[in-house]
Structure 1
């Protein structure tokens, strides 16, 4: 990619955030060495304290951004309790960032089942064996649980645990950021008051 393309402000002319995100993610898939779909996920606990960690985006469309997790994990409890979250993508190779936030909904069972079946068999076993975010007395205890579930599901399909599913963030704000010389970055935020409202585009000071 040329220097002109890297510093182009053409994206500021776009009027629809999801198509713009799709084009940026597609470019990241060719330039990022590892996990272009990696994203920092921020949640809030019952005391109002934030938590952030990396997850993998597993799907997106005009309805929102989807990832999967153990609902009994810390992030699972926090999202189920607060029903809201935020994400931040950073693609260093492209000098770009996307931030979004909004309410969260649970994906349908059909969506969760379909994605779970695409996971490696070992990952599906791990979804059963790991008591995510809870204290682990030893590595052996985890390996023993993996062995137990491997034996239980030695033959045939591995069902999706009831506590393992997906969340969809339905953004009310999506901001696109592109690095500029002398920190004079390009920033454009798409906002909407409700999920049914039209997007409004605002160019922001860097």
Structure 2
């Protein structure tokens, strides 16, 4: 056999080996790609399941918030009506005036600003009730802001009343911020109310607050 034939035979054999190597590498790569796709799909399914559980948990938590709010309001309503009768007055829906907010803030102080005959006679308990109720509303706002509650459930079931009642107590909130020098007091609640208003959730109309 001549050297040319040997060389050609060697080249041909090398070509076959190379082709087989390429084919083997291709099918190996194809199997790896398929395995990776299956792994990605499994992770996607797992993520979808986790996401579904998370959304279900948010809805359940939202309903729990709603239930707790209703229960709290049911307990507080008699005292709210007694101390802030115009909060539930459907005919004269005035918000708290800045003057009345000062009276309420100073209700626990010995030295109080003079009140007119038309001004409410706030007690220290009334101030505590107002603060507790505002705290409860802020709890709802924080749950919404941190996305741990279902936004639609909160908006549809609680936002209207929270917006309306925050507007009623807004002057008191501002008075607390001024007197305590804490501009961030109940800020998450204020942000929630402003956001709800941007989304079209508005309270029932009230006449302008008094002096």
Given the two structures, how large is their TM-score scaled by the length of structure 2?
Answer: 0.24
Larger radius of gyration: 2
| Structure with larger RCO (C-alpha < 8 A, sep 6+) | 2
Q: Which has the higher helix share?
A: 2
Q: Which has the higher strand share?
A: 1
